[in-house]
Amino acid sequence: MRDVSEEQLKKWIKLIQDNNKPCYQRLGYLQRELERLLEDIH
């Protein structure tokens, strides 16, 4: 299993806190990132 770097996690957290982008856009991005991570695991 590929580890998620601390940098990556901080990037995601920052993205979630970014109020300049609409919520659905942030969540959509996060969802794609997590799905990509899942694919890497399998």
Q: Is 26 exposed, middle or buried (0-12, 13-18, 19+ CB in 10 A)?
A: middle
Long-range contacts, stretch 34-38, CB < 8 angstroms, 24+ apart: 37/2, 37/4
Confidence category of residue 3, pLDDT binned at 50, 70, 90: confident
Query: What is the span of the domain harbouring residue 13?
Result: 6-41
The reply to whether 23 falls in a domain is yes
- Residue 2, pLDDT score: 66
Q: Does position 4 have pLDDT exceeding 90, yes or no?
A: no
Rg (CA), the chain: 11
8-42 pLDDT, tens digit each: 889 989 988 888 889 889 899 999 999 998 998 87
The reply to whether 28 falls in a domain is yes
The reply to whether 10 falls in a domain is yes
Number of domains making up the chain: 1
